[in-house]
Amino acid sequence: QRQLCKGAFKPMEPAKTFDELKKQLEDCASCPLRKDCQAPVGWFGSLESPLMIVGEGPGGVEDDYGCPLIGPSGQLLDKYLFAIDLDRASNCYIANIVKCRPPKNRDPMQTEQDACIGFLRAQTKLIQPKIIVCLGRIAAMRLIRPDFKISREHGQFTEKGGILFTALYH
Ligand code: URA
């Protein structure tokens, strides 16, 4: 499947600005998720944030409003952020592994993640976060290690390329 995916999708030049990234997202048809959602959900938050929070993909509410993590899990996240004196608008940057809502909120498939991951890489280059918090096993397996075990390893930090990664339960 991965081989097929590599052949099927022409890699895009990584966006060098957020405006370019926004345009690439709007034009993207790299995987079948796009036809079943309303629009790609790019990001929310401060472009100068040292903290990046990465979920797995938009759900129904996020698809309706075009903003990541604003449904029930996002509201819980906001409470946790508030408890440590952070808030999503001023000092966090929130994005997902895939930008288009998977049907019935299923896990995004590997091929869909492969098609979309370039956007997150471009986002990471632009933001240059110090810490990336993966929400849930899908983001952790994609960004930390394919065999990451969320039940055993949540809350542990791993350094990769000068960025500290950790994962929390979704
Ligand atoms: N909403 C998101 O934007 N991401 C998730 O991972 C879950 C819900």
The pLDDT tens digits for 134-148 are 999 999 999 999 999
pLDDT value of residue 5? 41
Quick one: DSSP state of residue 13?
A: P
Which atom of ligand 1 approaches the CA of 96 most closely? 4
pLDDT of 10 higher than 70: no
How large is the average pLDDT for residues 53-61? 98
pTM: 0.92
CA within 13 Å, CB half, 84: 8
Q: Residue count of the chain, please give it.
A: 170
Under DSSP, is residue 29 helix (H, G, I), strand (E, B) or coil?
coil
Tell me how far apart the alpha carbons of residues 74 and 80 are, in angstroms, rounded to a whole number. Answer: 10
**What residues flank ligand 1, with Cβ below 6 Å?**
55-59, 62, 68-69, 71, 73-74, 96, 135
Tell me how far apart the alpha carbons of residues 111 and 162 are, in angstroms, rounded to a whole number. Answer: 27
